[in-house]
A and B are shown apart, each in its own frame.
Chain A
């Protein structure tokens, strides 16, 4: 009986123990790095409501957090002497389904900014004005809440959904082709 070697491989030689040990050390080292770094740099991703509530309760002291909200256009101010940018964000639901219920992100942002009942959060940032910082854009900020209740941002990410896909063009006419 000779079967093709491909199908019944010869028994494997045993791996020398130093390789098994080396492999464990290598993989363990990488996992150790991942876990320790994760603990050191994880940030809560919160809504404006949560930030305001939890900072009043003193839960966020000294913690690095991320917050998402709608930029209130009138509040944007850049002070060229202190080089400090300040603006206000309004509460925006974090749940995609809630956003969809409000008629999509663009509509949700519009409602957030124009609803005086929404919780608002003042933000300061030391740096240039980001290009997309404008009324009704979505801001995702990384930073911390100062004792004054103002949010100090280190990083600003912005989205303005109305400017891209999905918006109906303004100038719609009924001309022929």
Chain B
């Protein structure tokens, strides 16, 4: 019964969405506001209806209704309730439904806001949002139905929603269980974050398209969607960070990012989204580069669809794409249609987007921002080229040629270096005009301090110049941001005669956006420190040890103490080693690297033992063991300097973005409502 309710609700959502589009276009063409209002009502109704659908699927998952194919695919009796529920996004059909539901939630919120001043945009915002939703609902209803069930007929077992003629329903006793890799907490939160980020960018895209269609040239759409964009960007960033963290904690290869095609397809919208966020700053402040922000938000939307397509089509060899799928061609069709439509629209509005102003000064903030946008686009082109190169080479020469991490690393490293430099200078530059002399005056002190970033590693015996440059860039970025912040507080103290704390909080609140940006940039610089640590200085070794024997790496010594093998209640067989760790002869404690074998799926999962400090991580993997533990076990160990800063920096980054979205008191709210018309 629940399956029928769920599918029915899905179908009703589709009808509402189609009605909404029709009513919005009709109302707009005939200038009848009541039709647009009616379309807006339809937008509000879809979310509750889809909630019924997703509620039905959750009910089926929680209660082990294995006659439903999706439930049997991703859950099993032995799984705890929370995993049964999160299995909602453990497979394709469920993920797509979850996607649609999140989008419906965003659409609901868009429909709730007051539209008094933006009546002209409303119909087109409705059309773009609902068209996207319809695409995903169609996928769910006609191609990947999460409510399809098992039937038996003469030819065997088939899956279908309705009863095929001559077939009888069957009720499996248990399901296959969730992919063990997806049972880690990081993997439970990672997909929703990623999806929220993807879905969130659809809102600013819909406003951008509405603005283009209505030929408006003001920046109202940017003001309205600033909050949406920042939240989407935050979730997308969190998705990437959590994915990296999960790879580090679970995949057991001592790394966090492998330039895997699916990772790349999540990174690409982030790169274009980040470029967009920077470009709209110039759009807002200087009314320049309007065409850039338009193009960038369109690219972001296309990449979100492309990313979902790449992940879901099985087109690429990746650790993420488990199954080939029949939805590839329809994704491609939607992508091409959207691409054509947006290119035509942009082309016809190009003239009115162009600004009469041009950048006049190389050190003005707009010039520096535009350079950083170009660098982000450079990264984007690199990643995109790397992802599609195998397909292109196969089409062109019949020979599939792939590129691996070395390609990405070689191109990305100098570009990241350039971005770090810009991050350091940008807070000092002002809009429109800055002289080199002015910049130099502000820069020389932090520059001198940042030289410590070269001198200290040199004293420590480091001579590899790329690493030295990288360290210097980090030091420079940190020094400039800290000096600048202190300088502004001091000016305020001098002019207003206030105390340190009051100056600090006032300076901050006065210019919340620019300080949030500084915090975000400091977060990125700290993350860079972690990346430098692991990329330049990671070392590893491996060995087979008898109990009591030790393995050395860097200043660490690990001794193999014991091995336990036992079964758990959730159908795992766990082999857990006890190793004690010493650094420079000093005892630090024990680590427990282990291997969990999942009986249902027959898959082992390696979980490393990690000791993490600000200076370095000591990372131990249990590779193999003899059944009788006294005979020995094999370990692989990694020494990852500074990697903790990657996660610390990520938190600083997140705090910065949250601060940027925080409404800054009455004044800020008022500022949001005053459009330049």
Name A's B-contacting residues (CB within 8 A).
6-7, 9-16, 18-19, 22-23, 26-27, 30, 33-34, 36-38, 40-46, 64, 66, 68, 78, 80-81, 83, 94, 96, 99-100, 104-105, 127-129, 131-132, 134, 140, 142, 155, 157-161, 163-169, 171-177
Are the C-beta atoms of A45 and B401 separated by less than 8 Å? Answer: yes
User: Contacts A26-B371, A157-B319, A166-B323: A11 and B217 contacting too (C-beta < 8 A)?
Assistant: no
For residue B6, CB closer than 8 A to chain A, the reply is no
CB distance from B25 to the nearest CB of A (A): 24
**Could you count the A-B residue pairs with CB atoms below 8 Å apart for me: how many are there?**
196
Given the known A-B contacts A12-B354, A30-B381, are A161 and B323 also in contact in the complex, defined by CB atoms under 8 Å? yes
B663, CB-defined interface residue at 8 Å? no
A80 in contact with B634 given A9-B356, A176-B171 (CB within 8 Å): yes
**Can you pick out 8 interface pairs between chain A and chain B where the beta carbons lie within 8 Å of each other?**
A19-B359, A33-B411, A38-B389, A83-B544, A131-B606, A172-B157, A175-B171, A177-B171
B317 and A33 contact, CB distance less than 8 A: no
Contact of A41 with B406 at beta-carbon distance under 8 Å, contacts A9-B356, A165-B73, A165-B91 already known: yes
Q: Are B399 and A140 in contact (CB under 8 A)?
A: no
Question: Could you tell me how many residues of chain B have their Cβ less than 8 Å away from some Cβ of chain A?
Answer: 78
Tell whether, in the assembled complex, residue B603 and residue A132 are in contact, meaning their CB atoms are under 8 Å apart: yes
Nearest opposing residue in chain A for B545, CB measure: A80
The proximity string for B residues 300-326 relative to A, scoring 1 for CB distances below 8 Å and 0 otherwise, is: 000000000000001001110011100
Are B401 and A83 interface neighbours, CB within 8 A? no
Q: Which of B29-37, B172-180, B523-531 binds A? A: B172-180
Nearest residue (CB) in A for B178 is A164
Give the 4 A-B CB pairs with smallest separation, nearest first: A45-B400, A30-B378, A128-B623, A37-B410
Known: A10-B356, A15-B359; 7 extra A-B contacts, CB below 8 A, are A9-B356, A19-B359, A37-B411, A45-B390, A134-B602, A160-B603, A172-B152
Whether B358 and A15, one on each chain, are in contact in the complex, defined by CB atoms closer than 8 angstroms, is yes
Residue from A83, A100, A165 within 8 A of B542 (CB atoms) = A83
Closest chain B CB from A122 CB (angstroms): 20
Q: Are A45 and B414 in contact (CB under 8 A)?
A: no
Inter-subunit contact A172/B402 (CB<8 Å) = no
Q: In the complex where A34-B382, A165-B323, A169-B66 touch, is A129 in contact with B623 (Cβ < 8 A)? A: yes
Q: Are the CB atoms of B623 and A173 closer together than 8 Å?
A: no
Q: Which of B175, B352, B595 has the largest count of A CB atoms less than 10 A from its CB?
A: B352
B143-180: CB near A (< 8 Å → 1, else 0) gives: 00000001010000100000000001011111110010
Nearest residue, chain A, Cβ from B74 = A165
Task: Report B548 CB to chain A, min CB distance, Å.
Answer: 17
* Interface flag for B362 (CB, 8 Å): yes
- With beta carbons under 8 angstroms apart, the residue of B323, B375, B621 that contacts A128 is B621
Chain A contacts for B92, CB-based, 8 A = 165
Q: Are A38 and B407 in contact (CB under 8 A)?
A: yes
- In the bound complex, residues from chain B placing their C-beta under 8 Å from that of A171 are 172-174
- Nearest-CB distance from B405 to chain A (Å)? 8
> In the bound complex, what is the Cα–Cα distance between A38 and B384 (angstroms)?
13
CB-based contact B601/A163 at 8 Å = yes
In the complex, what distance in Å separates the CA atom of A177 from the CA atom of B3? Answer: 14
Q: Binary interface profile of B, 394-430, with partner A (CB < 8 Å = 1, else 0)? A: 0000011111101100110011000000000000000
Contact across chains for A128 and B542 when beta carbons are under 8 A apart: yes
Q: Are A43 and B623 in contact (CB under 8 A)?
A: no
Chain A residues positioned under 8 Å from B324 (CB to CB)? 96, 99-100, 104-105
List the B residue with the shortest CB-CB distance to A66: B402
Partner of B605, one of A34, A131, A158: A131
B385 within 8 A of A: yes
Find the A residue at minimum CB distance from B353.
A9
By the criterion CB–CB under 8 Å, are B173 and A173 in contact? yes
Give A94's nearest chain B residue, CB to CB.
B400
Expressed in whole angstroms, the minimum distance between the Cβ of B334 and any Cβ of chain A is 20
Q: Pick the most buried of A15, A68, A164: most chain B CB atoms within 10 A of its CB.
A: A164
Residues of A within 8 A of B152 (CB): 172
Residue of A nearest to B67 (CB): A177
Chain B residues near A174: list those with CB within 8 A: 168, 170-171
Residues of B within 8 A of A81 (CB): 544
Contact of A14 among B358, B390, B414 (CB under 8 A): B358
Write out the residue numbers on chain B whose beta carbons fall within 8 Å of the beta carbon of A96. 314, 324
Bound together, the chains give a CA A6 to CA B67 distance in angstroms of 61
B155 to chain A, nearest CB (A): 13
Q: How far is the CB of B506 from chain A (nearest CB, A)?
A: 38
The contact string, 1 if C-beta is below 8 Å from chain A, for chain B 620-652, is 010110100000101010000000000000000
Known: A9-B354, A37-B410, A168-B157. A173 touches B171 (CB 8 A): yes
Chain A residues within 8 Å of B175, by CB: 169
Given contacts A38-B389, A127-B636, A140-B317, contact A18 B414 (CB under 8 A): no
- The closest CB in chain B to the CB of A100 belongs to B324
Within the complex, what minimum Cβ distance (angstroms) separates B408 from chain A?
Answer: 8
The docked-state distance in angstroms from the alpha carbon of A93 to that of B381 is 31
